Structure formats: structure tokens, C-alpha cells
Chains A and B, each alone.
Chain A
Amino acid sequence: MGVEGIGARVARKEDKRFLTGKGRYTDDMVVPGMKYAAFVRSPHAHATIRSIDVASAKAMPGVIDVLDGKQLLADGIGNLICGWMIHSKDGSPMRMGAWRPLADKTVRYVGDAVAIVVADSVAEARDAAEAVVIDYETLPVVTDLVEALGEGQPQIHPEAPGNLIFDWEIGDAGATDQAIAAAAHVTELKIVNNRLSPNAMEPRATLGIYDAGDDHFTCYTTSQNPHLARLVMSAFYNVAPENKLRVIAPDVGGGFGSKIFIYPEEIVCLWASKRTGVPVKWTADRTEAFLTDAHGRDHVSTVKMAFDSSNRITALKVDTIANLGAYMSLFSSCVPTYLYATLLSGQYAIPAIHANVRTVYTNTAPVDAYRGAGRPEATYLLERTMETAARELGLSPAELRRINFIRSFPHQTPVIMNYDAGDYEASLTAAMKTVDWDGFAARKAEAEGRGMKRGIGMSCYIEACGLAPSAAVGSLGAGVGLWESAEVRVNAVGTIEVMTGSHSHGQGHETTFAQVVAERFGVPIDSVNIVHGDTDKVQMGMGTYGSRSGAVGMSAVFKALDKVEAKAKKIAAHLMEADESDIVIENGALKVAGTDREVPWSQVALASYTAHNLPPGMEPGLKEGAFYDPSNFTFPAGCYICEVEVDPETGQTKIVQFVAADDFGNIINPLIVEGQVHGGLAQGIGQALLEGVHYDKSGQLLTASYMDYAMPRADDLPSFKVTTSNTPCPSNPLGVKGCGEAGAIGSPPALINAITDAIGNNELTMPATPQKVWAAARAIS
């Protein structure tokens, strides 16, 4: 490892720009003639649109035009789609209702876009939006996922009778039921995974620019995957063919999944730009973000876990209902299926698993991937069940887990996944040591003396990153391939540009990707630029989500570096009249091994471009590209332990210790990994302790601002103790697994297990607000 190579604790290159206010976000973009959009949104959760009268809005000062869904339809703009086909267990395809970018007949949730106003200023656009008169006929509403499946409930989409989108299963139902019938002990639980709002610091924004001269569109947008946005907008929404649509995702202030998806606003602003002849910019305010960013989670499940007489798990049976909201967002269908149920084996050898998942429409915002996407739901369900089982069986939670850990690899689970490497015992041991598990009893007694209830809880999570390989995900219904591409361009003086299809919106790629290059050629990271986020600059890519950038994106860079290195060595061998196989790269120079002959890296680069003296037949230049399609998922895993103190008088929970022991495979930059873990833990703790989206019966969002939606703040969190014990990933050349979501995946059950331990009552749902904890503690005493 060099000072800036793989494994170095390098501070983030991009932070100077972010911390000094020099970032360039979509809302910072200003182009000549640019105008501003405001969306007219439905105030009703379910209604028929009788008429839209835009006359007085159009007459308002500064207004350029007001456009509605009928015009959008007439211009042939397509429906928003869900890009992952799921079939129900009876073989029928999922029942996707139509999602118009601007609703023309029916609105289905509060915030549904109905019309767009384009005006000289944001204020004028908003004033005019209020003047659009829409005659609604309200319809009955259902927001709760369980109720939505009941008899006589409002029908949200004609395509999905009874609001059921699909009824899917995985695993062997017969074997699972048999094992449960024969079990020595069965632990049963009802598990609710609370609905969350993603809350990226930068709200969504877009700038649509139509150039009539070239009949060409440019879309600036807050996207985690600009190429995917272009693909979907071209192939399905009929905005423009790919060669006439450039998508740029500049600096993006956080995504957490919510900026994977294509939303109505991007499409409508591009279309409106063509209709009005002016560039159209829209930036969400925080209320719009709460109303319309795709939410996360929202599952209700029942679980049965069967044990034999030696406390080995013999079967797991899960029944889940997942709320997908009013429309099927881009990847909504795969989150509660292939990203969820395939992880239900956890870290344990479970011979039989069966999961049934029903997804439903409700009159709420669309629900899709949010940090962890399916894996937090699986982990929460499994790890609460394990802890409950340990209590019922009279075993320590560590003991029950140890009995059931998978210990040899590769391991084929009954739910598709083939785990390639791991050492779960190592993480468990590291976490227990760091938290001083053995000293807990004394700490509990001390707390008791102060009238406080201490509890400790653990969570042994596994997750899957880098969704792959493409052929496999294709066979499971994915509409896209999940590879990544990279291009490494060495400049004539030896500096390097790396074009990547990954997109950084907080992950630090400009640093970590540069470290991989620095490691290879011995150049400083300052001479390496990472170029991303622009479909005109980067040929193709699948973007950043599911902690895939390290395992997939960097592996593509790695492959391209292989090709560059091979060519550079050929050139160096030629220049030094040595054998290619004797050339090694050390300290920024290409050397003949075992001699003092060398040419600096910069000279090889220059030679490739002057082309005065290249090996016979070699093309000039030093630039190579690669596509990388992984052979398997990667499987980060770890053990999280949380220790809490509950004030029984108020129900207030204080986290006194939080330990994370992760296995992320090889680590490129420990500083960034720790940052990712800290952020993930904060979000997971947010889910467990504070956050929750609430709709009232009429479908109004009660948590539409930070006055009511509780985000974790610094003083809600302890100083985290993070450690890693890593097993390299065998399926990619860097041996990396991914660390972006683990914190959010592993932490909620550890926290809830700790609180239920403290209060002695297992009946507790997230978020464990003081009120709920107080009531649960009282119910038991």
C-alpha cells in the first residue's frame, strides 16, 4: 500500500468543494432564458379529476404556460414504469396500474402531480399554481397496507383487483411446514417494519433544456444513475431517443435510494421545455420532498422459526405484506422480493425456508428502495426472531447464534443466495469484546441503583451487494443488466482520467476510485480525476445503489487498468529494449525487474502519444475501457451490539454503547468506510428510535415537515465503536464487498433487542418512541 493507495486513510478529495460551498448541484445550474416550474399537486389522496381550469393561472404575471396531463398524453409521453417483472405464484404477471407523469383522470395520493406552471420566477410559478382551478370528485381512501387487501376497500387501480399487485413466494412450502410441525420449539412473532422518508439533504431538482436547433434535450437531474435515467426516458417515456437526450447528474446531495428512480418531474420539465421553448427548472421544497420522494420499508409480517431439540433452526416461514403506495416506482417490485426474501437465511444454516410476499396499492406516496432496500426488513425480522427465540429457549443470544452459524463456504441457502465467504464467529467475538459483554451484568446492576433499566441486544446481519450477475438478475425479472463500465484515459503527461458509470452522491468515489489508480501506477491521487454523472462524457453505466460501486464499479476500473498496464509495459519494454514480462511498476516508474533501468510513468504516457517509437504495429495512445459483470453478489456481514439505558418514568431511551463489527472484505479507505458505517448507523437508529411516516385516514401526510418527522440528531447518537474483521471477497478482483448500507441494515434489531431486554417486554414496534417504550414497560410491571 502506498501513502495514497489501497487501504490508505486518505481524506476525501471532494470535501474541499463541498465544505467551502463550491459544490455544483442541479439547482445551481443557470442557463440563458431559463424559467421556473411549479407543480400543481393533488390535495386529495384519491379523487377523480372532473375538470381543470387554467385560464386565470395563465393570466397571472410572469406566467409563460400552464400544461396539464391531457396535453402530455396527446404528445405521446408514456407512463412511468416499474422495471422489474415479478410473477405471482400462480404464474400471472404483476398487475401494474398506469402512472401518468401528470394525472389526467384520477389522482391517487396527496402530492400526485396534475399540472405544471412555467413562469419567470419561482414565486410567480407558485402563485399561478394556486390559481389553477381543479374540480375533484373525491373517492374513498385506504392508506394502511393490511386494510387495503380487505373486503370492500377502495379500488385504487383497475388493473389490480383488491389492490393486490402480486402474491409471490420463494422456497419450499411443504418442507418448511413439515419441519415446523415436527419442531421441538417454534418461535412466532408479528413484525412491523415502519415506513420511512428518505430525507436526502438536497431535495430533488431538475432542469430540462430543449434545443430546437438540434432537436436535442439536456436533462440536469438529481440522479444516482444518469444513464439509467436516459435509458428509461428514451425507451419507455418517449421523451427522446438516447442520442437526442443528454442526462447530467452533477453534484448530488445524498440519495439513499430515493434518487435511483425516474420521477414525473424530470419527464414533465423536458416536455414542458419543448412545449414552451424555454429551459425549465424545478426544485422541490422540503414539503414536496416529504410528499413525493419514494418512501421506504412499510412491511407487516408474521414469522415462525422452528428449532430441533438441540436448538438448531430447522425451518423459517414468513408471510409478508408490503406497501408499494399509489404507483409502482422503478424498482419497487424487487425490493420486497429478491432483495428481501433471498436474505432470510441470515448468517444461519436453515434447511427449509418459505416466504410469501403480497404487495399492495394504497393511497400513499410510492414506496421503493431506501438505504438497504429489503435487506433491513429481512434482518430486522430475522434478528428480532433470533433474540426472541434465545429468550424463549433460555439461551444467551450469542449462544443461539453460534449454534446456528454457517461455518463452511461456499454455502447455498434455500433462497437463491450462494454465500461465498465469511467468518461470522469472528465478527461476533470482536463485537462482544468491544462492548465488554461480560461486564454487562455489573453495569446493569449499577444502573438499577439509579432507577434506570439497562438492556443489551445484538444483531448478526448479512446483506448482499452488487446485484449480479446480469444473466441471473435478468432471469429473475430485472429489466436491465447490472454490470458496470469504466474507461481509463491516460493523458500525454501521465495524469489520468477515469470515466465511470458509478455515480457519487456522498460516497467519496473521487477519492477511493483514485486510490485504486494510485495503487496501480504509483501516481498521486491528485493527478487522477474521476469523471462521472454525464451521459455525454461516460459511455454507459448503471449508477450507484445497493452498495455496488466498490464491488462492481471499481472492478470495472480495475479491469480497464489491467489493459492500460499491459500496454504501458509493452511500451516500456520497447523503450528499454527489455522483455515485457520483466517490467514491474514501482514508485511511479516502469522498471526492468532486478536492474536499475527504468522509465518514469509520465514518459511512457508521452511515448504512447508522440508515437515516435512504439512497438511495431501498436496503435498510439493510452486509453482503455472495460465492462465488468460480476459472477456473484458480495456478502458483507457483521455483528452489531447495542446497549441502552431506559428511563422507566418517561420511556426515554439513551444509547450508551453501539458497537459495529463488520466484514466488508478488503478495504480501500478505512476513513471513508467508517464514515459510511456511521451514516448508516445513524439512519438505522433513526428508523428504530425516531422516524416514521404517518398518514391519517383521509390520506393526508401528518409527517410532512421536521416538526413532526423525527430525524436523528447528533445528540441522539452515541460515539460509535466500529471495527472490522475482514474476509476478502473471492468474486471480484479487489476482494471488496461494499459498506454503504450495512449500518442501516444491521442496527435496528440490535437497538430494539436492547430496549426489549431492558424493559422485559418484547411487544414493541419501531420507532421505539418514549411513549411506546413507557407504555410497554408499564404493561409488564
Chain B
Amino acid sequence: MYETNYHRAASIEEAAKLMGTVAEGKYLSGGMTLIPTMKQRLAAPSDLVDLRHIAEMKGVTVDGRAVRIGAATTHEEVATSAAIAAVCPAICGLASHIGDPHVRHMGTIGGSIANNDPAADYPAAMLALDAVIMTDRRELRAENFFTGLFETALEEDEIVTAVRFEAPVKAAYQKFANPASRYAMTGVFVARRDDGVVRVAVTGAGSSGVFRHQGLETALSANWSPAAVANVTVDDSDLLSDIHASAAYRANLVKVMAKRAVAAA
């Protein structure tokens, strides 16, 4: 790791201000992605501004079916939140399968979506839930937030402060884990609103990151049942291919995970 300076911010305002004063700063949340990257000398921020101790960025509120999760909320807190489980257990289940206990107690939802790893779990949930990503300066629909591999619409020094969404009537996430990293080799989040509209988001498989699958959405909006997946074609030309899984295999997993998600919802 290169030498770096550590700052702990007490408020969103202070964090933004600190960032403005340093040379090559980076926000630090759980550090589960950033610190390993720095240890491998692939990132060399001059300063780290820690967001984990900002009270207004932490915790969960559920009001009716409206869910708000502070960006500094850990995966463990989401996984074990009784309030969220009462309206949207799918996202608790998703959080409970991220990494290992150490990672879940450190890693945050804000860090995860800001990082937008193409194999991360939360982006699929955000997209399928039609979530709103709240920042220190604006609100963005998930649609417009995730823009590519490790890329988001965040501007320089913009802070994700929270996410919010309306809990759907039915939702589930099914993840097929990469045998080595245990990130999603393919993960599918399905969400069905009470008007019957279904959104399906896929992570781990797309060559430009998380995406919605039109064919699956149409089929499942017309017929909300596992069997409806059978006749959908998943084109593998835009899917990732690596030493762990070919595009064709990932295309298969998209269907299988979608089918199982509907069954589990």
C-alpha cells in the first residue's frame, strides 16, 4: 500500500468539504473493495475520507412500503433488519449472501453501488426495485445510475447518501456464485408490483454490467410463473465470457436463476 492520510467525517457536509481540500481523495466506506485495491497498489489515493461514522447516512427506515436504507448501512444490518424483512425479505436474503461475515459487517450498500462491480449483488436489486439513489446533491433512478463496468453516473466527489424504493408485492433474488470469489457469476432479481408489472435485473453476466432483461420482463408480466421463463430467449452476445463461465453458460444461468427466483418469490 502507498502512504495515505485518513480523515473521519462527522457529517455529509464535512465529508464533501474535506474532499475538496485534498489532492487525490477517495471516500472510504467499508473498505472491502478499496483497501484490497490499495494493498495491491492498484489505487493510490493521497487521502481517505471515511463515511462510516456519519449518523445521517446510517440505518434503515420503513414507512408503509417505503424503504430507505442509509448508504453507510452494512450488509449485516440489512440482512438482519426485521423492518425490511417485513416488506421486502428478498433484499435481506441478498445481503445475507454477500461475501463472508467479515465482509458483511464492514461492507456497505453505498460502497457496493458506488463501486458497481459487474458481479456485485446490490445493483441487481436496485435496478429491479426501481430504486432511487440519493446523493449529497440529487436523486437518480437506478436506471440512470449504473452506467457500465465499475461505472456510475456519480460526479466527482459526489456522495451516495441513501437509497429508497417501494417494496414490491413479490420479489426474490437468486444468485449462482462464482466458485472462487463467491460474487455473482449470474444473479437475477425479480420484482412484481401490485399492478402486475415485473422487472427483472441481471448481475454478474452482462458485459457492460447490471442490466434489465426485456424478454423475461414481458413474459413474466404476462404470466407470473416459473414456467413462463421457458420460452424466453436469452441472447448471449452481450454476456461476459471468462475462465469461469462462457457467455452461453451464463445465458443458461440467467434463465435458470430467473425461474428459481419466480418460484421463490
Given A650-B256, A706-B181, are A126 and B176 neighbors across the interface (CB < 8 Å)?
no
A770 to B257, CA, bound (A): 14
Nearest A residue to B179 via CB reads: A710
B21 on interface, CB distance cutoff 8 Å: no
- Chain A residues with Cβ under 8 A from B41's Cβ? 126, 130
B245 on interface, CB distance cutoff 8 Å: yes
A771 on interface, CB distance cutoff 8 Å: yes
- The interface bits of chain A over 690-725 (1 if a CB of B lies within 8 angstroms of the residue's CB, else 0) are 100010000000110011111100000000000000
- Chain A residues with Cβ under 8 A from B253's Cβ? 650
Do the beta carbons of B180 and A707 come within 8 Å of each other? yes
Do the beta carbons of B180 and A709 come within 8 Å of each other? yes
- Chain A residues with Cβ under 8 A from B252's Cβ? 649-650, 774
- The interface bits of chain B over 62-102 (1 if a CB of A lies within 8 angstroms of the residue's CB, else 0) are 00000000000000000000000000000000000000000
Q: Quick one: which of B212-265 are within 8 Å of A by CB? A: 243-246, 249, 252-253, 256
B195 on interface, CB distance cutoff 8 Å: no
Do the beta carbons of A771 and B180 come within 8 Å of each other? no
- Chain B residues with Cβ under 8 A from A689's Cβ? 179
Do the beta carbons of B181 and A650 come within 8 Å of each other? no
B26 smallest CB distance to A (angstroms): 18
Nearest A residue to B1 via CB reads: A123
A618 on interface, CB distance cutoff 8 Å: no
Do the beta carbons of A708 and B249 come within 8 Å of each other? no
- The main secondary structure of chain B at its interface with chain A is loop
A13 smallest CB distance to B (angstroms): 30
- Chain A residues with Cβ under 8 A from B256's Cβ? 649-650
Do the beta carbons of A774 and B249 come within 8 Å of each other? yes
Do the beta carbons of B243 and A702 come within 8 Å of each other? yes
A287 to B41, CA, bound (A): 12
Q: How many residues of A contact B (CB 8 A)?
A: 25
Do the beta carbons of A710 and B249 come within 8 Å of each other? no
- The interface bits of chain A over 633-654 (1 if a CB of B lies within 8 angstroms of the residue's CB, else 0) are 0000000000000000111100
Count the A-B residue pairs with Cβ separation under 8 angstroms: how many? 48
B5 on interface, CB distance cutoff 8 Å: no
B3, B180, B246, B253 — which one has the most chain A CB atoms within 10 A of its CB? B180
Do the beta carbons of B2 and A771 come within 8 Å of each other? no
Do the beta carbons of A769 and B181 come within 8 Å of each other? no
- The interface bits of chain A over 538-551 (1 if a CB of B lies within 8 angstroms of the residue's CB, else 0) are 00000000000000
- Chain B residues with Cβ under 8 A from A287's Cβ? 40
- Chain B residues with Cβ under 8 A from A650's Cβ? 176, 252-253, 256
A194 smallest CB distance to B (angstroms): 12
B249 in complex: contacting residue of A709, A711, A771, CB < 8 Å = A771
Given A650-B256, A710-B180, A770-B179, are A694 and B249 neighbors across the interface (CB < 8 Å)?
no
A366 to B114, CA, bound (A): 40
B244 in complex: contacting residue of A706, A771, A774, CB < 8 Å = A771
- The interface bits of chain B over 31-49 (1 if a CB of A lies within 8 angstroms of the residue's CB, else 0) are 0000000001100000000
- Chain B residues with Cβ under 8 A from A126's Cβ? 41
A127 in complex: contacting residue of B2, B180, B244, CB < 8 Å = B2
A111 smallest CB distance to B (angstroms): 15
Given A127-B2, A650-B176, A775-B249, are A707 and B181 neighbors across the interface (CB < 8 Å)?
yes
Do the beta carbons of A708 and B1 come within 8 Å of each other? no
- The interface bits of chain A over 746-781 (1 if a CB of B lies within 8 angstroms of the residue's CB, else 0) are 000000000000000000000001110011000000
A709 to B244, CA, bound (A): 10
- Chain B residues with Cβ under 8 A from A709's Cβ? 180
A531 to B252, CA, bound (A): 57
- Chain A residues with Cβ under 8 A from B181's Cβ? 706-708
A771 to B253, CA, bound (A): 10
Nearest B residue to A124 via CB reads: B3
- Chain A residues with Cβ under 8 A from B179's Cβ? 689-690, 710, 769-770
A518 to B210, CA, bound (A): 64
- Chain B residues with Cβ under 8 A from A651's Cβ? 249
A770 to B244, CA, bound (A): 9
Do the beta carbons of A708 and B243 come within 8 Å of each other? yes
Do the beta carbons of A771 and B1 come within 8 Å of each other? no
Do the beta carbons of B180 and A706 come within 8 Å of each other? yes
Do the beta carbons of B40 and A771 come within 8 Å of each other? no
A740 to B134, CA, bound (A): 56
Given A694-B243, A769-B244, A774-B249, are A708 and B2 neighbors across the interface (CB < 8 Å)?
no
A650 to B174, CA, bound (A): 12
- Chain A residues with Cβ under 8 A from B40's Cβ? 287
Nearest A residue to B253 via CB reads: A650
B3, B41, B179 — which one has the most chain A CB atoms within 10 A of its CB? B179
B189 smallest CB distance to A (angstroms): 18
A129 to B224, CA, bound (A): 59
- Chain B residues with Cβ under 8 A from A123's Cβ? 1-3
5 closest A-B pairs by CB: A710-B180, A710-B179, A707-B181, A771-B249, A649-B256
11 more A-B contacts (CB under 8 A) besides A708-B181, A771-B244? A130-B41, A650-B176, A650-B252, A651-B249, A690-B179, A706-B180, A706-B181, A707-B181, A710-B179, A770-B179, A771-B245
Residues of B within 8 A of A (CB): 1-3, 40-41, 176, 179-181, 183, 243-246, 249, 252-253, 256
19 A-B residue contacts at CB 8 Å? A123-B1, A123-B2, A126-B41, A127-B2, A650-B252, A650-B256, A690-B180, A702-B243, A703-B180, A703-B243, A706-B181, A708-B243, A769-B244, A770-B179, A770-B245, A770-B249, A771-B245, A771-B246, A775-B249
